[in-house]
Amino acid sequence: MAERKPIDGVTIEKTEKLIAETLANFPEKARKKRAPHVGANEPSASPCAVKSNRKVVPGVMSQRGCAYAGAKGVVWGPIRDMLHISHGPIGCGVYSWGTRRNMMQGIPGITSFPLDFTSDFQERDIVYGGDERLATLLREANELFPLNKGMSILSECPVGLIGDDINQVAKKVSKELDKLVVPCNCEGFRGVSQSLGHHISNDSIRDHIIGKFEFEEEAGPYDVALIGDYNIGGDVWAAKPILEEIGLNVKSIWTGDGEVEKIGATHSVKLNLIHCYRSMNYMCKVMEERWSIPWLEYNFFGPTKIEESLRAIAERFDDKIKANVEKVIEKYRPVAQAVIDEYKPRLDGKTAMLFVGGLRPRHTVGAYEDLGVQITGTGYEFAHQDDYDRTAPEMAKGTIIYDDVSEFELERYVEEMKPDLVGSGIKEKYVFQKSGIPFRQMHSWDYSGPYHGYEGFEVFARDIDMAINSPTWKLVKSPF
Amino acid sequence: MTECAVKKVTEHSPERVAEVLEWTKSAEYQEINFARKSLVVNPAHACQPLGAQMVAHGFEGSLPFVHGSQGCASYFRSTFTRHFREPSSATCDAMTEDGAVFGGQNNIFEGLENAYALYKPKMIPVYTSCMPEVIGDDLNAYIKNAKDKDLIPADLPTPFANTPSFKGSHVNGYDSMLRSILQNLTAGKKVEGSDNGKLNIIPGFDGNIANLREYKRILDLFEIPYTMLADITEVFDSGCHGKYNMYPGGTLLEDAADSINAKATVAMQSYSTTTCMKWIGEEYVGSSDVVDFPIGIEKTDAFILKLSELFDKPVPEELKQERARAIDAITDGHQYIHGRKFGVFGDPDYLLGIVSWLLEMGARPKHIICSRTTKKFKKQMQALLDSSSYGDGCTVYMNKDLWHLRSLLMTDPVDGIIGDTHGKWAARDAKIPLFRIGFPILDRVNLHRSPVVGYQGTINILTMIANKFLDIKDETCEDKWFEMMR
């Protein structure tokens, strides 16, 4: 890959100075902890020097969530035909109810379950344990929601602390009801971020779901699975049709708008296509080891990356698919070009800074660049080293890379780098908008979407233009 | 499932789906639904630390601090930010697995030191989420030790509250944190024998900023000097000036400290201030009163009369005119609401206010759901219903949830549902309009900028509900019934 062109005014020296000045405000111990997590980008550096996946420094105002959030919100929640039970006190389930925008088909409460199921722990459960109530709860849930295809038990903090054995309960009730019941020990205190919740959930899928089902129909040469697309704002519905158009059969989706039995039958596909590497690479590796299913990372943000990805996918198949891919690229190029022609004139030369979860800080860079927007800083809430290694080459030299950035730091980095847009999460949004800086939520697509695929690119372009060029920003400065 | 058996991927037949869908609307289903003992589906309450954080935001330069897992803090912040569309700056000491073994003292130490150094707060209120409550951390000792080690200044106010998520709800967390902050700030400030002539006003857990502004406006009309305690007005409704200010408002610490010498304290809610008001009643120089949450004319009248009585001032002419305008509005508009049936859910104080208003409009509350409350609430609500013939045939459901409500809406439909955004699933299933009053509202803009309390709030609620009914009529009636006037 060709190295990015340097960005005007962005140099390694300036960025390092900014980082040093910012971290100088931290007490010594915290400064030492934070320093390895921020750096000026060296595109050719491998491994990337920025460290990651370590504990949050207490008190700095991290934007991270917890293992439960990674399990419930990210991996399990989008599986539409299961009941996902927030096992523990009331809050976790309430706060994560409907707040990720993983859209799903089905009749809510009948065949799909975007509801909040919880055991609403009381003090007596802490004292006497919640296992017995959990067993009752599972039976009640199965009776009231008979079309569920299974239940996941997602542990909140107290469950692991009081020594409950949800695995035993799950096993017993699963047998009794002849139903899939999956225990997931994703207590929020485990690990350092959402990331461990993804991993624990992948392990639960490995132990309880994958290989337990098979498709009615024969396996075909073009069977693939879509891994790590959570259908935020309908992303899956914009991505899957492209794969179908090039002649592939998308047999299952992990986990956006997902169906658990199809997920459990994924071991029959020929190739796993993975979008969010961070949250789902574990299962790709398991399927590779156990069933020799290869996997391929792809990127459906913006036409440049879509074309690159489609051609890489084609390489794994025969001439028929290769020819289809070229046809599809040709068909959509004018569509994408029309979007670029409309929006690039208004966005060319603008800059943006990103801070998102585990994928988008690198995967969306190409889509911004398609519109002429350069990324001057990026970073992740819960990425690992392999994510940063994949990020460095996507960013220009000297741009700032920050891991698990605190609010204090991000404010100062943005203040100094003066981007035209910040793309990050809900907690960060209004901090920057109060400063008159346009902002888009990049976890939830700011109640918009889809952003994947050709259809998504048009929505993305419209949203970025709307954010940066809205006439409302001109009114911030008062005449008196 | 049986070990090793591989099952085929299945699909439900459309007939089976239709059958189950119909069954979930039946009385038989309702019976099974109401018989459940362990499962909670779609609750309408949150956990204690959320309420504690609301209070902790409401003081000058105050930085809320969660002692517990990192994810808890992010959930509270996200919830407030989604509702208010404002920043919610709060920090956390990010306890992890080793905390379970060693306790959370080191986390508190580092957390307080870093939070103070970076964000320079004037106060750090500390409250707990599940983990330290289960392992039994000693907040008092830990915070004292942090000061002894000079990690934060000895004179930095660091009130703390134990707010276990497995007891009560967010309204209790509000109560505990407020009591703790006031105990901390007023310590040693009491002047015996005289009062400072001011009123303390406590809004309670309220996601409607315009309500707080409405109280202030009324007090200004009375020319009563006041201190609003846990004043989140500017914190969660700050202007966009092109420069971000992390601490845009809140009760001045000095005023909070002097609140112990006030002439009177009035809490606008009861269930979110129970222990705090008891303590104030015992410790503060002046009188202490809890008024009913003032939704509707009668409750607003009671609040106004209470102010007049406490400060021996006549009701200002402007308020008299305002009341008359509100009465004019409801006598003009009551016909669109009279006899209409409602399902209502939410926090105890909000529910009492809304139901009181419905009764005075001649509307018929039908199902009232409070998903976490006490028997006292049930009795109080029943007494309110018994006070009016329009309350006949209404049932109060305690510790029931919004999936119970769904059943009630199917078997015994109403014309409107009043509650927060979480009711939208049940409302859609039952094809009944949802009127968003309460917390949180995650799917509409600016409702927290329009008061529901006071005379003005009475007009606002009437406008919202009556016009929606009229919209529905215009949108759904047959052509022959479509007409110019309504």
pLDDT for res A474? 94
Pair type for strands B264-267 and B287-290:
parallel
Question: Right CATH number for A12-61+348-447 from 3.40.1190.20, 3.40.50.1980, 3.20.20.70, 3.20.20.140?
Answer: 3.40.50.1980
Q: Comparing A12-61+348-447 with A67-191, is the CATH topology the same?
A: yes
B96 contacts in chain A (CB < 8 Å): 55, 189-192
> What are B203-227's pLDDT values in tens digits?
999 999 999 999 999 999 999 999 9
Report the share of chain B in percent with pLDDT over 70.
99
Report the share of chain A in percent with pLDDT over 70.
100
Query: Beta partners for B136?
Result: none
What does the alpha-carbon distance between residue B115 and residue B219 come to, in Å, rounded to a whole number? Answer: 36
Mean per-residue pLDDT, B432-437: 98
> What are A203-223's pLDDT values in tens digits?
999 999 999 999 999 999 999
Residue of chain A with shortest Cα separation from B68: A189
Mean per-residue pLDDT, A436-461: 98
Mean per-residue pLDDT, A4-12: 94
CATH class assigned to A223-329: alpha beta
Query: Which of B40, B50, B82, B245 is the best residue to mutate to test the A interface, defined by the most A CB atoms within 10 Å of its own CB?
Result: B40
Work out the number of other CB atoms within 10 angstroms of the CB of residue B338: 12
Residue of chain B with shortest Cα separation from A136: B38
Q: What is the nearest CA distance from B73 to chain A, expressed in angstroms?
A: 8
Copy the structure tokens of residue A190: 């485990």
Q: Do A62 and B75 touch (CB under 8 A)?
A: no
Mean per-residue pLDDT, B220-241: 97
Taking CB atoms and an 8 Å cut-off, how many pairs form between chains A and B?
A: 301
pLDDT for res B100? 82
pTM surpassing 0.95? yes
Work out the number of other CB atoms within 10 angstroms of the CB of residue B431: 8
User: Which residue reads 């022959």 in tokens?
Assistant: B480
> What are B18-58's pLDDT values in tens digits?
999 999 999 999 999 999 999 999 999 999 999 999 999 99
| pLDDT of B99 over the 90 cut | no
Of the candidates B285, B278, B245, the residue with the CA atom closest to the CA atom of residue B262: B285
Q: How many residues in total does chain B contain?
A: 486
Q: Does B103 touch chain A (CB under 8 A)?
A: no
pLDDT for res B249? 97
- Among the listed residues B55, B130, B396, B452, the single catalytic one is B130
Please report, for chain A, the start and end positions of each structural domain, with discontinuous segments joined by +.
12-61+348-447, 67-191, 223-329
| pLDDT of B1 over the 60 cut | no
> What are A38-94's pLDDT values in tens digits?
999 999 988 999 999 999 999 999 999 999 999 999 999 999 999 999 999 999 999
Provide the CATH topology of domain B322-479.
Rossmann fold (3.40.50)
Nearest by CB to B130, which of A67, A137, A157?
A157
Q: Do A27 and B164 touch (CB under 8 A)?
A: no
Of the candidates B343, B424, B404, the residue with the CA atom closest to the CA atom of residue A114: B424
What does the alpha-carbon distance between residue B32 and residue B30 come to, in Å, rounded to a whole number? Answer: 5
Interface predicted TM-score (ipTM):
0.98
pLDDT for res A77? 98
CA A325 to chain centre: 26
pLDDT for res B267? 98
Mean per-residue pLDDT, B317-333: 98
| pLDDT of B331 over the 50 cut | yes
Q: Is the dihedral of CA A155, A159, A161, A164 positive or negative?
A: negative
**Average pLDDT taken over every residue of chain A:** 97
Q: How many residues in total does chain A contain?
A: 480
For the annotated catalytic residues of A, the residue numbers are 66, 69, 100, 198
Q: What is the CATH number of domain A67-191?
A: 3.40.50.1980
Q: Do B39 and A140 touch (CB under 8 A)?
A: yes
SS3 content of chain A, % helix, strand, coil (to 5): 50, 15, 35
CA A466 to chain centre: 24
- A390: CB partners within 8 A, 6+ apart: A277, A362
Q: What is the CATH number of domain B199-316?
A: 3.40.50.1980
pLDDT for res A2? 76
Copy the structure tokens of residue B81: 């930010």
pLDDT for res B3? 52
pLDDT for res A400? 98
Question: Right CATH number for B48-186 from 3.40.50.720, 3.50.50.60, 3.40.33.10, 3.40.50.1980?
Answer: 3.40.50.1980
Query: Which of B4, B6, B9, B135 is the best residue to mutate to test the A interface, defined by the most A CB atoms within 10 Å of its own CB?
Result: B9
pLDDT for res B4? 62
Nearest by CB to B96, which of A91, A133, A189?
A189
Mean per-residue pLDDT, B390-413: 98
pLDDT band for A1, please (50, 70, 90 cuts).
low
In chain B, CATH 3.40.50.1980 covers 48-186, 199-316, 322-479
A146 contacts in chain B (CB < 8 Å): 20
- Secondary structure of chain B in the HEC alphabet? CCCCCCEECCCCCHHHHHHHHHHCCCHHHHHHHHHCCCCEECCCCCCHHHHHHHHHHCECCECCEEECCHHHHHHHHHHHHHHHCCCCCCEECCCCHHHHHHCCHHHHHHHHHHHHHHHCCCECCEEECHHHHHHCCCHHHHHHHHHHCCCCCCCCCCCEECCCCCCCCHHHHHHHHHHHHHHHHHCCCCCCCCCCCCEEEECCCCCCHHHHHHHHHHHHHHCCCEEECCCCCCCCCCCCCCCCCCCCCCECHHHHHHHHHCCEEEECCCCCCHHHHHHHHHHCCCEEEECCCCCCHHHHHHHHHHHHHHHCCCCCHHHHHHHHHHHHHHHHHHHHCCCCEEEEECCHHHHHHHHHHHHHHCCEEEEEEECCCCHHHHHHHHHHHHCCHHHCCCEEEECCCHHHHHHHHHHCCCCEEEECHHHHHHHHHHCCCEEECCCCCCCCCCHHHCCCCHHHHHHHHHHHHHHHHHHHHHHHCCHHHCCCCC
Mean per-residue pLDDT, A312-326: 98
Work out the number of other CB atoms within 10 angstroms of the CB of residue A129: 15
CA B445 to chain centre: 18
| pLDDT of A328 over the 50 cut | yes
Mean per-residue pLDDT, B131-150: 97
Of the candidates B108, B109, B77, the residue with the CA atom closest to the CA atom of residue A64: B77
Which amino acid is it at B275? T
B114 contacts in chain A (CB < 8 Å): 26-27, 30, 57-60
Mean per-residue pLDDT, A234-245: 98
pLDDT band for A3, please (50, 70, 90 cuts).
confident
Q: Does B429 touch chain A (CB under 8 A)?
A: yes
**Average pLDDT taken over every residue of chain B:** 97
Pair type for strands A151-155 and A421-424:
unpaired
